[in-house]
């Protein structure tokens, strides 16, 4: 198959953010009839888009994407940074895509009698879905001042994490990445190490992403 044909087929795939895109237009004063006319479809289809029961494709939604695509991207990104407390070096990142998983791992602080005082998050994983079968993992660690042995505090939760943004991977590679992280990094968090492989598979399935190695028991409607 030629590259051109692949591009055409890609534009025919269901656009994941159809519902959000349509709502942006409606909130801007469009009617369902207006959207149907511009997208060359029926108002009943637009109504299904609004409800989320159906999805349009990129070519069909192009009039809306041209106007509101930037807002859609703006609404589905997060800002991260890496902060070296020894050198003061800072790097900032902007990562697009819906966050499908945000999992923190906590250190249970106890007093001299063994009673837990508080749980302090030390590590965190964030997974962005960046369209089609593309995922990006952000690996985070709590920023600490080593000379004080204190964690950075902030009213903005995202500001207390130093982040490493990984390359784009597919769903199978994502599962392998998470399984490996649980095995090699979460030694001090045994409950999380054992449950994280379940959590990532459940998350993918809940977002409509096929997962290999799942024993299926389908219902008959």
- pLDDT confidence bin for 148, thresholds 50/70/90: low
**What pLDDT sits at residue 77?**
84
CA distances from 126 to 16, 178, 194 (A): 20, 11, 18
HSE toward the beta carbon, residue 87, CA cutoff 13 A: 6
Domain ranges of the chain: 17-73, 77-207
R_g of the chain computed on alpha carbons: 22
Choose between 31 and 130: higher pLDDT: 31
Q: pLDDT of 94-117, one tens digit each?
A: 998 889 999 999 987 555 666 656
Segment 119-124 shows an average pLDDT of 90
Angle, to 10 degrees, between the axis of helix 3-12 and the axis of helix 58-75? 70
Q: CB-based contacts of 38: which residues, under 8 Å, 6+ apart?
A: 63, 64
**What pLDDT sits at residue 110?**
57
């Amino acid at each position: 198959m030629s590259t051109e044909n692949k591009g055409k087929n890609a534009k025919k795939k269901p656009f994941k953010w159809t519902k959000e895109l349509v709502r942006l237009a409606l909130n801007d004063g469009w009617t369902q009839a207006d959207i149907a006319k511009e997208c060359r479809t029926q108002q009943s289809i637009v109504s299904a888009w609004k409800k989320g029961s159906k999805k349009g494709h990129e070519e069909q939604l192009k009039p809306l994407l041209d106007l509101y695509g930037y807002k859609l991207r703006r609404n589905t990104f997060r800002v991260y940074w890496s902060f070296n407390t020894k050198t003061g070096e800072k790097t900032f990142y902007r990562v697009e895509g819906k966050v499908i998983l945000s999992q923190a791992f906590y250190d249970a602080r106890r007093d001299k009698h063994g009673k837990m005082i508080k749980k302090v998050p030390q590590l965190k994983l964030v997974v962005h879905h960046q369209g089609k079968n593309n995922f990006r993992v952000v690996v985070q660690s709590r920023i600490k001042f080593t000379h004080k042995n204190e964690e950075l505090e902030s009213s903005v939760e995202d500001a207390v994490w130093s982040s490493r943004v990984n390359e784009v991977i597919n769903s199978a590679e994502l599962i392998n990445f998470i399984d490996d992280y649980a095995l090699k990094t979460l030694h001090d968090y045994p409950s999380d190490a054992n449950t994280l492989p379940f959590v990532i598979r459940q998350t993918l399935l809940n977002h409509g992403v096929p997962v290999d190695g799942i024993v299926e028991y389908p219902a008959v409607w």
